[in-house]
Structure 1
Amino acid sequence: MIKKITLLFLGLWMLIPFHGLAATGSNISIDMHYLVVSPAEDGSTNLMNMVNYSNSSSKEYKGDGKSEAVLKVTLPDHARDLNFLDSKIAFKQVDKGFITTTSVPANQTTVLPYSYRIPKGKEIKLTMDYPVGIMQILVPEGMGSVEVTGAEATSQGTFQFDDQNYYGYSIEGLKENQTFTLIYKKDVQPPSDRSSSSSKQSSSTTDNGNTSNVTHTAPAFHNPGHIRMWEESPLHSLNPHIFLIIVGVIIIAGISSFIYFKRKARLEEERLSADKEEKAFKQLIAKQKAIMDKIIELEESFNAGKLPEDEYQAKLAAYKQHLIQVKLSLRSFIE
């Protein structure tokens, strides 16, 4: 019990998902939900989730007693490639998601981090099995936008973490059993914070102060000098209008090719950036777990009388400081 309390007490804050997490029992609550949405290489949608369950009771929470489930997670239809990121919590996959079988200590918190994918073209329909106060949806900049139907979502603008910008959306006051749909548009970017400048139209002012548009018209005939130059050129046997059309097509084709390969390179760069971000996120999670394990080992050694109190306190303070730095990095990842 001591090591569980120590572990959960140091788990001060984490990220939270929002789709179908059913907290059974009135003593379990969920403060916030977070979801990072990004495109996968195969065209599917990757959804990275984390949830923080708090047990406000003075008793250890072991579920509703009707099954072995302590916490239940219901995934959307068509979800695949579930990846549970916490090896310290026992879980089992079930028909519509997964359950955990590790109890939540009294007055403490349990964190569930996991991810999954929704295949291309499949609907992401989410049903809340519990009321949700605030839900945060995050999309890496340049990787599209989301649209929510069935609930009111508010745009939160952009923010930066580790040289990567994100666009955020917020949903408040979701009710129990409320259903809404998340539409991910990876090719549609959110509106820019900067307003686009309007096109300007040339105008002139008349003597009475009224403004009128100025229109420049082409002459009704070709310039004689241009005609003479064409007749004296090696291309005079060609129709000049057809020649200009061919040149225009070549220029347009060149510009189109340049834009295509430029966009292809940008998409590849965005994909590599997304992989780098997910790798960094997982490394932070692993580092946090390693520090918590060290704290547990230190606690056990001290309780067994293998360490003097001054050495124990010094090492515990160092571990706590390191843990705080890791948690600040995780906080910056989603805020």
Structure 2
Amino acid sequence: MQPELKRKTSLFLVFFLLSLLVTVGTVQAAPEETISVSMHHYILQPGSKGMLDVKEIVVVNNQGAEIAAGAGKVKFVLPEGYQDLIFAGGTEQLVEAKGQELVVTAAVPKGESTYRFGYLLPAGAAPHFILKHRLPYPTETLFVLTPLQGVSVSSTKLVDGGVSQEQQARIYMADNLPAGEQVDMVVTLGAGAAAGGVTQPPPNPKFHNPGHIRLWYQSPFKGINAHLFMVMVIGVPLAGLIYYVFKRRQMGDALKAKGDPEEEMFHRLMAREKVLLQKIGELDEKRANQEVDEDTYRQLREAYKKKLVNVKAQLKEFTG
């Protein structure tokens, strides 16, 4: 009985750990989508000549091998009608503007790379600006930051993340956006903007506190999928607890059996009785099918019955 329990416990742990490894492999493999965006920031504020000043900070995560310079596999889409494209943080040496696309011409190393650029956007129907953006890659988190006053953002894809006292800005956000997702924003400046900004969230939006997200991306674990990390943090200790409970129960049963030899003998006799009854039944079936002759049948059945009578007599001593 004890080896069987130990075997089941070991099998349970093996299957649990294998399931974790399969999950990790499933999340990390995705060979067809090695490029994703960890964070995409839009920083919106009033610009010169009544235009909208837009700055973008894109953190690209290359989960595959390094992409060679000139491959042009990583690119960003610029909005229609943009003007005065500028770069920051050395991005001008890494990219090239081609129409409405910003193509990365430098090598893209494995891991995260950051690209910073900005432009001016003319008004659609003043004081409103239409900012349309189709995501070329899966995006974990999209942030839109505006001043506390004088700018509002309306979008069905964003939710109001509140005010960041640290950055003195209002934050709009969305997370876990698939590649190809269309995010359209209507930005209003000046007197036409609602105080603090207004957004139109979809029903029951799913998002995380911006402070928590910021802390996560500043932590050493930012390269791991946050939801998978949570599963591992909860699952591994839970597996350890289950193993501990099984082990304690196993040790308790062993000590109990060791401390009570009569009980151990009783269980052995019960098992012996069961085996003998089974053998008699099998022998009767073989005789009915004419698989054994009459003499062999009688000899074996008599031997089994004698042993069974002896076992029952010993069991009677335990039960009184």
Name the structure, 1 or 2, with higher relative contact order (CA <8 Å, separation 6+).
1
Structure of larger gyration radius = 2
Query: Structure 2-normalised TM-score?
Result: 0.46
More helix per residue: 1 or 2? Answer: 2
TM value normalised by structure 1: 0.44
